[in-house]
């Protein structure tokens, strides 16, 4: 059995993993799904949120585990797990990117997002630099995040999304090295109908940063709601990793 740590993306929280967590635990795995600062039940003010604070939250959980874990990031969570892997390489067995940002050294989420020709986020974004946040227009939330989800799941998710997402973490370049981050096996789960992080950008990223496995889902950006069983199946079919020597 494995230990999974599931890291949510922008505007979301630990709640988005509920169905996946149940599915993994039913198979005997240990699962942690924390709220990043300013999300879910964590009420850290937007202006106090940084990428480092996100990473620190993940590292607290990593440090408490008795063995290396499978660290999973969705969307923005990909940036968080990338940096966490740099500072805690010995605590991670595999990195899994679920339609997530996969930055190279020195890249920020914002730099990658601005290359996305398919996303519906950018034309529906509300930017407030003075107060340090960005938000998604309420009327576009379903089409962007949940176009293939059930009505009841959409209503539930919309009731839990945070209204304001901090700008600092998405604008911060990620610093990683081959010696640390580079020796951890990576898996990418692409979502073919994603309207938040376009499939072309997903492929561009996992081509630039090769992964041990590429798995696919015929879903939008939220397979944890639209296809949780299929996502659990992918998470549990990850090949036994071959780590590079330090």
Taking only the tens place, the pLDDT of each residue in 130-156 is 999 999 999 999 999 999 999 999 999
Report the percent of the chain where pLDDT is more than 70. Answer: 97
Reported as a single tens digit per residue, the pLDDT across 66-98 is 999 999 999 999 999 999 999 999 999 999 999
Residue 245 located in a structural domain = no
Strand 133-136, strand 125-128: pairing: antiparallel
Distance CA 27, CA 18 (A): 15
Residue 241 located in a structural domain = no
CATH number at residue 154: 3.40.50.1820
Contact 37, 94 (CB under 8 A): no
What is the SS3 assignment for 43-106?
CCCHHHCCHHHHHHHHHHHHHCCCCCEEEEEECCHHHHHHHHHHHCHHHEEEEEEECCCCCCCC
Distance CA 209, CA 106 (A): 13
Strand 133-136, strand 165-166: pairing: antiparallel
Strand 92-98, strand 69-74: pairing: parallel
Q: Tell me which H or E stretch contains 179.
A: none
Reported as a single tens digit per residue, the pLDDT across 169-199 is 999 999 999 999 999 999 999 999 999 999 9
Q: Does pLDDT of 245 surpass 70?
A: no
What residues does 95 pair with on adjacent strands?
71, 186
What residues does 96 pair with on adjacent strands?
72, 187
* Whole-number pLDDT of residue 240: 54
Residue 61 located in a structural domain = yes
Smallest CA-to-CA distance from 168 within 130, 132, 127, 125 is with 132
Residue 202 located in a structural domain = yes
Residue 246 located in a structural domain = no
Residue 124 located in a structural domain = yes
Reported as a single tens digit per residue, the pLDDT across 41-54 is 999 999 999 999 99
Residue 107 located in a structural domain = yes
Q: Which two tokens stand for residue 4?
A: 């999974």
Residue 146 located in a structural domain = yes
Contact 78, 71 (CB under 8 A): no
Total domains present in the chain? 1
Strand 125-128, strand 186-191: pairing: unpaired
- Structural domain for 97, as ranges: 3-235
- The answer to pTM > 0.75 is yes
Smallest CA-to-CA distance from 19 within 31, 2, 28, 35 is with 31
């Amino acid at each position: 059995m494995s230990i999974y740590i599931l890291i949510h993306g922008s505007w979301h929280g630990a709640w988005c993993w509920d169905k996946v967590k149940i599915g993994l635990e039913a198979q005997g795995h240990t699962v942690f799904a924390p709220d990043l600062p300013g999300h879910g039940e964590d009420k850290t003010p937007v202006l106090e949120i940084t990428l480092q604070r996100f990473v620190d939250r993940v590292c607290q959980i990593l440090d408490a585990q008795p063995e290396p874990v499978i660290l999973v990031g969705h969307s923005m969570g990909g940036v968080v797990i990338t940096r966490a892997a740099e500072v805690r390489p010995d605590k991670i067995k595999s990195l899994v990117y679920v339609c997530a940002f996969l930055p190279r050294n020195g890249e920020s989420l914002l730099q990658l997002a601005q290359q996305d020709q398919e996303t519906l986020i950018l034309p529906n974004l509300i930017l407030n630099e003075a107060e340090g946040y960005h938000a998604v227009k309420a009327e576009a939330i379903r089409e962007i995040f949940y176009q293939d989800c059930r009505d009841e799941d959409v209503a539930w998710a919309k009731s839990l999304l945070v209204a304001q997402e901090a700008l600092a973490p998405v604008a911060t370049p990620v610093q990683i090295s081959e010696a640390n981050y580079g020796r951890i096996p990576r898996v990418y789960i692409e979502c073919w109908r994603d309207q938040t992080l376009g499939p072309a950008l997903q492929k561009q990223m996992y081509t630039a940063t090769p992964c041990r496995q590429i798995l696919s889902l015929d879903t939008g950006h939220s397979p944890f709601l639209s296809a949780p069983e299929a996502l659990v199946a992918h998470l549990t079919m990850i090949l036994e990793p071959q780590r590079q020597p330090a």
